[in-house]
Amino acid sequence: MRTSAIVRIVIFSVVIAILLGIMVVGMLGNAFLFNTTTGGTISSEGSVNASEIHSIEVEWVGGSITVQTADTDTITFSETGAKKEEDTMVWKQTGGGLKIQFQEAKYNFGISFGFEASLNKDLLITVPKDWTAKEFSIESVSADIEIAGITAKNFELDNVSGTCELKDCGIGELDVNTVSGKVDLNGSVQNVSLEAVSANCQLFLSAGTKQIDMESVSGDLTVYLPADQGFTASIEGIGGDLSTDFPTTVSGSKYIHGDGSCKIEAEGVSGNVSIRKRPTP
């Protein structure tokens, strides 16, 4: 395994340990908030014209986040679970961007403490079926995230603790960072980048995936590919292994099937990689 990969994993683990410590302190102070959205609208619901929006950014703490599609020409969003008025979410439209934040922070130091707030609220976002996001990002501490049917050129997902499920999505570039959670993806993705600590990832992919990169500590990756999908898999790690349903030839540290077109690279400590044939519908 390359020394640089080990160094990255160790640094990533230390950073995660610090973040988890901050999260606990925040919970004890009954607050864990992101940077405040200056000049935003404080409301438990809102809507914007989809034709004016090309990117969505969500910063949430706990509870759940659901993103769905519908026959509509607007993007709507609403929350439930706010116990007091000051718990209400804040949102802002700037140019072609929409930002939705858990609530307005009391102090703008990145993380705010001493703010009595419910840490669990449920957010529902609905976008048009024919709408494509240029950028879509979700950052959460401990929310369960479910995303269905969306199309995005770039999608970024950061979650410290919780499940992440993406169903029937069409994504160009997918970037996922997760700790102590689970990631399930079913859809079409061209390029996938995963960074995980104590998290398991399952990818049910359609044809056309070009690249899958994973760096992990104590996490397993299972990839389901169409029966006629070629791939080249390279596994580097300590205590990791590769298993596959596909016949492969071995060239150095690489496992090659078919035309080798999908590149799968995994680096990690104590994690396994499985490449399976996707079940026929």
Under a CB-based contact definition with an 8 Å cutoff, are residues 230 and 261 in contact?
A: yes
pLDDT over 80 at 39, yes or no: no
Residue 251: count of CB within 10 angstroms of its CB: 11
Look at residue 222 in the predicted model and tell me its pLDDT: 92
Q: Which residues on neighbouring strands pair with residue 273, listed in sequence order?
A: 221, 242
pTM of this prediction? 0.83
Q: How far apart are CA 173 and CA 181, in angstroms?
A: 21
Q: How far apart are CA 12 and CA 140, in angstroms?
A: 17
β pairing state of 97-101 and 151-159: unpaired
pLDDT over 80 at 83, yes or no: yes
What CATH number did the domain enclosing 188 receive? 2.160.20.120
Query: Residue with structure tokens 């399930």?
Result: 184
Look at residue 199 in the predicted model and tell me its pLDDT: 86
Pick from 208, 207, 237: nearest CA to 221 = 237
Look at residue 25 in the predicted model and tell me its pLDDT: 45
**What domain count does the chain have?**
1
Q: Which residue has the higher pLDDT, 238 or 108?
A: 238
pLDDT over 60 at 99, yes or no: yes
Domain that holds residue 58: 3-277
